[in-house]
Amino acid sequence: MRINSLYLENFRNYAQERVDFDPVCNVIWGENAQGKTNLLEAIFCLSSGKSPRTRGDRELIRFDTEGFRVEGSITSRDRAFISRIESFRGRKKKITVNGVPAKSASALGQVLNTVFFAPEDLQIIRSGAAERRKFMDMSLCQLRPKYAEALSEYNRLHEHKTRILRDCDQRPDLIATLPDFNLRMAETGAVIIHYRSRFAELLNESAAAAHRECSGGRENLTVRYQTVKTVTDPMADHRQLVAQLLEHQRQHHYAEVSSRQCLSGPHKDDLEVLLDGVSARSFASQGQTRTAALSLKLAAREIHREILGEYPVLLLDDVLSELDPRRQEFVLNRIGGGQVFITCCEDDRLGGLLQGRVFHTQGGKLSV
């Protein structure tokens, strides 16, 4: 899939802009605070209806204006689409696809998918397990509706059980409801582990290949799924997973009641990322961290293509900094397959660009 052209009106620092893109590679360069990230943000919005940076739409509306419009001409599954978002202060957001009003933002995701790499994504490597779970969850929710369903059910049960554990001091009768919650959490937890373990395996293969290529064959990346201790094989069948999750809950029952926290279940899962056998979180350099985070995103894109048949559009925000020339060359020229957008601050890195279009942005104005 690809985005052929984009129209922006009063979106962030863009007053009005129409731009045609290259089907393969688009590089947007410019000084700080000129609108590079804003442009990628607009494309991301066309795939999900929302910004990767803020919750609501208010911040997206250009200062001193009433609302924004974003429109994209998209080719997906060999068909042409026009996706459009209009958001005005005090009015309900309007989304249309080929002129037909959409009930929800998910209609946009039927047409355009994106994988977005932002500088914040270095936290996937550097931070605690929550960031890596978020990465898995975001990718899997786009790809597997059954996973999204199980995850939201699990989160609901987890919240409820946490409330019971918190309140059972005052209301000891609540303890009696725990076995029922535990069983339902084990059932949905097993579904989550089923999908995550398979995703991690694919991720390991593809991310290792991307990292090897980007580092010129010098470094080996490994991704390992870590889940509940009693689970001996996360790929095992549903019944075995449920039994092992229940066993872990049983072992932790008293600890949960006394600490008033939910200690057992896949809400504590992690993806261990290793570089040449040692923890990337503890030992990776800046460039290695960036390469590893990028490799995970490239792998998510590859899995997306394997499952849905088409590459999503790849949005790489400020990925070139801290990379040596060899790694920069990889990003510019050797990410094969679908359409890529890359932002950077200097154009002197772009001499090696073999194919694609280069845009300059200044004060919310794009020029070629």
Q: Kindly list the residues in this chain that would bind Mg ion in the complex (CB under 5 A).
A: 36-37
Phi, psi of 302 (to 5 degrees): -65, -45
Minimum CB separation of residue 365 from Mg ion in Å reads: 16
Minimum CB separation of residue 345 from Mg ion in Å reads: 9
With contacts defined by CB under 6 A, name the span among 29-37, 96-104, 212-220, 305-313 that binds ligand ATP. 29-37
Q: Report the amino acid identity of residue 11.
A: F
- Locus of tokens 């991720």: 203
Here's the x/- map for ligand ATP, 262-301, by CB under 6 A: it reads as ----------------------------------------
38 binds ligand ATP (CB under 6 A): yes
- d(C-alpha 139, C-alpha 105), whole Å: 17
Q: Which residue is nearest to Mg ion (CB)?
A: 37
With contacts defined by CB under 6 A, name the span among 60-68, 135-143, 296-304, 334-342 that binds ligand ATP. 60-68
Does residue 203 contact residue 303 with C-beta atoms inside 8 Å?
yes
Partner residues linked to 279 by β-bridges: 274
Q: DSSP state, 312? A: P
- Locus of tokens 């088409």: 310
What does each C-alpha distance from 86 to 95, 104, 176, 242, 313 come to in angstroms?
A: 7, 13, 50, 46, 22
- d(C-alpha 48, C-alpha 295), whole Å: 23
61 binds ligand ATP (CB under 6 A): yes
**Closer Cβ to ligand ATP, 275 or 340, answer by number:** 340
321 binds ligand ATP (CB under 6 A): no
Does residue 293 contact residue 284 with C-beta atoms inside 8 Å?
no
Residue 13 binds which one of ligand ATP, Mg ion, none, with CB within 5 to 8 A depending on kind? ligand ATP
315 binds ligand ATP (CB under 6 A): no
Provide the pairing of β-strand 100-101 with 114-117.
Answer: unpaired
CA 351 to chain centre: 30
183 binds ligand ATP (CB under 6 A): no
261 binds ligand ATP (CB under 6 A): no
13 binds ligand ATP (CB under 6 A): yes
Of 12, 194, 267, 290, the one binding ligand ATP (CB under 6 A) is: 12
**Closer Cβ to Mg ion, 114 or 182, answer by number:** 114
